[in-house]
Chains A and B, each alone.
Chain A
Amino acid sequence: MNMGTRPIPEMLRALHASAAGLGRPIAFMEVCGTHTTSAFRCGLHSVMPENVRLISGPGCPVCVTAQADIDELIDLGSRGEVTLCTYGDMLRVPGKRGSLEKARGDGASIEVVYSSLDAVRLAQSHPHRQVVFAAVGFETTAPATAAAVCAAQKLGLDNFTVLASHKLILPAMRALLSATDRPKINGFLCPGHVSVIIGSDAYRCIVEEFNTPCVIGGFEPGLLLSSLLCLTEMVAAGRVGLVNQYPQAVRPHGNPHAQALLQEVFEPGDARWRGMGLIPMSGLFLRQRYERFNAARRFSLQPVDDREPPGCICGRVISGLALPPECKLFGRACTPVQPIGPCMVSSEGTCAAWFKYGPQRASANGVARLQQLQEVRS
């Protein structure tokens, strides 16, 4: 494993040496909420060279979900005949009329599930309730939804549906690099667990079409640092390549069983993203043969306006165009206790990470953390 081969202090020295030779500022983007929080948690930002920045991209599934989709979900969850099943991190995301948590407080039947199959079991044991599974997430999570749909089909359930707003990461990365108003990105730190499903080779299109280095990284501090070092060294050497720094979990072609399941149940289509608008072929939608499990169709949901909360700049934050402290609401009207935008709600959100580990605190913590790591490794 990479982290076993180079001690952290040595990697840090190499990172600073490589960055010093650049003589210009560069920025890498992580497109994974777990990378965002891991980097803040271990204080990585505070020990990075001044001219190397790590910015957050559209990697948190809760954060990229369009406001209209969240409003749709809350509306559906508030219906008397529906039991809505959701993963825990969607519960507190605010919509136009409260959140799922508030709806539950008002008496709506909303269940937090650990697995999509729990929702199927609930439908099986409550045949007189309409059970809807809130299917949010990237390629890592989508196979679980596909498995639930297949299980419901096999069981012949007619009271189970999914409200799917699954997203695909590669179209979002392409959209970011193609946009007129776009952040400066010298390389991507690619999401580890999405890559488990889609495989490392999937990023070749980004490397080749956009001349942008990609490194697939793990989540522990050593692996994160190793990935950033790899990206910086590539930029310093003028090389553009694809490197898999998380080979213990990510294969070149990904997980074929998960891909087959996704292919069986879903088809790609245009999807709306928070702050990024409609991105072509960036969402997963139920195929016609599984249309009877489509909650939007069963409950005749009408399209709703897609407007972010007034003053909220989550859309710009997840596009790498703004940092959380640039938002007038950040830390004042919008806090983890009373969030306004999804980036402050989700444990993987950029605003939540900034609020919790912000620059001042991250600096002290980062040094202490890396000293600890150094002790552990010596």
Chain B
Amino acid sequence: MCLAVPAKLMTHNGLEGVVDLHGTHLPVNTMLTPDAQPGDWLLIHAGFAIEKLDPQQAGETWALLRDLAQAATKSPAPSGTGAATPAPPTQGDRR
């Protein structure tokens, strides 16, 4: 349950911020991570930042996801295999 994805905080104004998720800029509420600052990696769930991530570890996760996506592109997976990268956020399905 509870899909959450790491994203980087770009701008911040009070409790409202904007994160960069795979190049898509999304609004985020930071009331659960009040000390978040632009440049921080946050875990985003249903429009809320629920935790700050360690930058090095978040970067490693990000790099692994990117590598996996590239590997999947180079070597097409058999039918039915899902990509390992988190899907870009869509409306709903954020639980």
Contacts and interface: CB of A to CB of B under 8 A. Distances in A.
Nearest to A259: B32
B43 interface: yes
Interface in B39-86: 43, 45-48, 50-51, 53-54, 57-58, 60-61, 64-65, 67-68, 71-72, 75, 77-82, 84
Given A33-B1, A59-B1, A144 B93 contact: no
Interface stretch (A74-82, A180-188, A236-244, A369-377): A369-377
Contacts of B43: 193, 196, 249
Contact of A249 (B48, B53, B78, B94): B53
Given A249-B53, A372-B77, A375-B71, A41 B84 contact: yes
A273 B68 CA distance: 37
A361 B80 contact: yes
Where chain B touches its partner, the secondary structure class is: loop
A197 interface: yes
A365 B47 contact: no
A196 B29 CA distance: 17
B24 interface: no
A278 interface: no
Given A193-B1, A193-B2, A115 B77 contact: no
B16 to A, nearest CB: 10
B61 A248 contact: yes
A15 interface: no
Given A1-B61, A197-B50, A365 B92 contact: no
B2 A137 contact: yes
Contact of B95 (A140, A192, A220, A373): A140
B50 A143 contact: yes
A343 B84 CA distance: 22
Interface residues of B, number: 43
Interface string B8-43: 000000000000000000000101111000000001
A103 interface: no
A251 B2 CA distance: 17
Contacts of A356: 80
Given A361-B80, A372-B77, A113 B29 contact: no
B1 A91 contact: no
Most B-side CB within 10 Å, residue of A1, A88, A118, A140: A140
Contacts of B79: 361
B20 to A, nearest CB: 16
A257 interface: yes
A140 B78 contact: no
B52 to A, nearest CB: 9
A118 B82 CA distance: 30
Nearest to A36: B1
Contact of A115 (B29, B57, B64, B84): B29
Given A87-B92, A141-B2, A372-B75, A357 B80 contact: yes
Given A140-B2, A220-B64, A115 B80 contact: no
21 contacts: A33-B1, A34-B1, A34-B3, A37-B82, A41-B82, A41-B84, A87-B94, A88-B90, A115-B46, A116-B46, A143-B50, A144-B46, A193-B43, A193-B50, A249-B43, A257-B32, A348-B1, A356-B80, A369-B81, A372-B75, A376-B68
Given A115-B94, A365-B78, A373-B71, 14 more contacts: A41-B82, A89-B92, A114-B47, A115-B48, A137-B95, A191-B2, A192-B2, A194-B2, A251-B51, A255-B32, A257-B32, A258-B50, A368-B78, A369-B81
